Amino acid sequence: MATLDRITQPSDLRGLTDAELDELAEQIRERIIAAVATHGGHLGPNLGVVELTMAIHRVFDSPADRVVFDTGHQAYVHKMLTGRAGAFDGLRTEGGLSGYPSQAESDHDVVENSHASTSLSWADGIAKANALAGRDDYVVAVIGDGALTGGMAWEAINNIAADSDRRLVVVVNDNGRSYRPTVGGLANHLASLRTNPRYEPMLRAVRDRLTSMNVVGQTAYEVLHAMKKGLKDALSPQGMFEDLGLKYVGPVDGHDREALEKALTQAKQFGGPVLVHTFTTKGHGYDIAVANEEDQMHQAKAFDRLTGTALAVEPASWTSVFRDEIVRIGDERPDVVAITAAMLSPTGLDAFADKFPERTFDVGIAEQHAVTSAAGLAFGGMHPVVAIYSTFLNRAFDQVLLDVALHRCGVTFVLDRAGVTGDDGPSHNGMWDQSILQVVPTLRLAVPRDGARLRELLNEAVAVDDAPTVVRFPKGPVDTDVEAIDRLGGCDVLAREGDSDVLIVAAGPMAAVALDAAQRLREHGLGVTVVDPRWVKPLDPALVDAAAEHRLVVSVEDSGRVGGMGSVLAQMLADAAVTTPIRVHGVSQEFFDHAKRAVLLERMGLTGEAVAADALQRLG
């Protein structure tokens, strides 16, 4: 039996020899590569934390000692060492392992999402609860992949450093990257240390000296501190943390398990908040990933493990359409600038950045700053386009409301991965933005149904200079263009046949579902009109007049039902005293387990067959 398959809990690691531990590290990497090559997932981040995770679980006692990962996509090794290695064949598949920590899977898991920069606040709260309950357990927060660029992390550090008696260890997994190299002043400061040719020899000398003196714990810290005096400002970032009152250990080679265990043991002996600084390399142990300059295979599609190339040619995606169009707009509009939060390539802004580097701002994992900075750019005469994942806009709602909308700033938000995304689980489904943004005065929100409409609506959005605009689209291949046959106010009529029995109002990509439902209803002798409103906030009043002429109104959207297009349309009909009944089809406000997008949509009743069946039942 492989060493990995004998590990059922972290305590099993403590009985292994050095040779067995080296063998275990190789087996972990092999299992991760095999699983991600088959199902896709986060490869680079997890290959980079193998020795680090092993060391944490050998020094600390999970689940009594809580290990919190930030970001959660670097927890594959943790899953393997807590008894789930045998389930990795089903990684990110329906009913199989989640790609993130999951409390339903294991008592060893804590934070279930990958919204970065939250781990330190979680750890701070757990440590305080331990102290209040009289528990002596430790909390270990592993923060990496650029998450220290998020302001929330520094709010937490400010509070952690103030509590000198909390048993809390912050492990900084410093790999210099999120998707791409981490940006900002902090990143530059840490990078200068990482590349300083003088530091490693000094660090080894200090470590050897302490070992020869058999100095440990608080005394070791004091000796180390004294030996570094006069050098820390030039060579080490420890002053940045120690000036706050937070003890600092490191930097440590994140692929040297023995050195990591010594550092973590030293940190544990302090009995108070400590920061352990480690250097790791994304993709370590798989040369193809390390050599990938784009993102070191941060999040990979299924691939050929011998070459690293994707197994399937990806069709044109919504993101690629946006990528091309924003560059064309940039050519015509010198005032258009682009902002993203550590996601240039995933959101399609990489091509704009290549052509207009001086007009592109990657602010790191700092969505709140991104939005308010965009307000400032708009105030200064620019038109910012803020491109982020839909689910991450939630973090900056107050800034959208009070910094952008209140000040009538012309800022365009492009929300990728809007609607149901599927494989990455509940934290990544972009099903909240439309409901949240519905309450923002003056904001306009567009939902394109295909590539042609994405280009069209993006151009309309950036033409608005006195209010925020939003363009949202889903993950995956872009839909085939569907041309309108007529106009209804500002809406597109996609189909009209027979009597005025059913009016189907479909938001963006749900046009295909609506047209399928319409065909099924026509087969039952019903007349159907299908309309795409294009802009779902505000909805065109022409829809109210059209609804009054039909026997039933049906709305279909890949968004939350509460505060979504359908609920707004229902309110508009009620306000206008239109008595035509309305059926609202959308995403219920709940957290959905990971599964393919098509599977989840079918489960939610967002298919042509389900929508038609419901309409037939309502009409008797």
Q: Which residue has the higher pLDDT, 193 or 327?
A: 327
Residue 230 confidence (pLDDT) above 50: no
Write the CATH number of the domain with boundaries 486-619.
Answer: 3.40.50.920
Identical fold for domains 4-288 and 318-472, yes or no, is: yes
The pLDDT-based confidence of 178 (bands split at 50, 70, 90) is very low
pLDDT confidence of residue 352: 97
Residue 3 confidence (pLDDT) above 80: yes
Is 550 marked as a binding-site residue?
Answer: no
Is 115 marked as a binding-site residue?
Answer: yes
C-alpha span between 414 and 398 (Å, rounded): 17
Is 30 marked as a binding-site residue?
Answer: no
Q: Is the peptide bond before 71 cis (omega within 30 degrees of 0)?
A: yes
Is 159 marked as a binding-site residue?
Answer: no
**Mean pLDDT score of the chain, rounded to an integer?**
85
pLDDT confidence of residue 321: 95
- How, if at all, do strands 491-497 and 486-488 pair? antiparallel
Q: Which residue blocks in 467-510 are alpha helix, DSSP H?
A: none
Sequence-distant (6+) residues with CB within 8 A of 511 are 449, 450, 479, 482, 494, 530, 532
Residue 196 confidence (pLDDT) above 90: no
Is 114 marked as a binding-site residue?
Answer: yes
Q: What is the pLDDT of residues 487-541, one digit of tens each?
A: 999 999 999 998 889 999 999 999 999 999 999 999 999 999 999 999 999 999 9
The pLDDT of 186-210, averaged and rounded, is 54
Q: Is the peptide bond before 509 cis (omega within 30 degrees of 0)?
A: no
Q: What is the pLDDT of residues 63-101, one digit of tens each?
A: 999 999 887 788 889 998 998 888 888 888 877 888 788
Active-site amino acid positions: 282, 367, 395
pLDDT confidence of residue 271: 78
Is 146 marked as a binding-site residue?
Answer: yes
Beta-bridged to residue 252, according to DSSP, are 278
C-alpha span between 578 and 582 (Å, rounded): 10
pLDDT confidence of residue 231: 44
Write the CATH number of the domain with boundaries 318-472.
Answer: 3.40.50.970
pLDDT confidence of residue 281: 86
Structural domain boundaries in the chain: 4-288, 318-472, 486-619
Q: How many CA atoms lie within 13 A of 438 on its CB side?
A: 19
Least confident of 58-62, 153-157, 278-282, 335-339: 153-157
* Residue 540 DSSP symbol: P
At the fourth CATH level, which superfamily is domain 4-288?
Thiamin diphosphate (ThDP)-binding fold, Pyr/PP domains (3.40.50.970)
Beta-bridged to residue 530, according to DSSP, are 495, 504
pLDDT confidence of residue 207: 55
- In the structure encoding, which two tokens stand for residue 298, read together? 């941060």
Q: What is the pLDDT of residues 586-612, one digit of tens each?
A: 988 878 777 777 888 888 888 999 999
Residue 454 confidence (pLDDT) above 70: yes
The pLDDT-based confidence of 372 (bands split at 50, 70, 90) is very high
Q: Of 84-98, 216-230, 449-463, 556-570, which one has max mean pLDDT?
A: 449-463
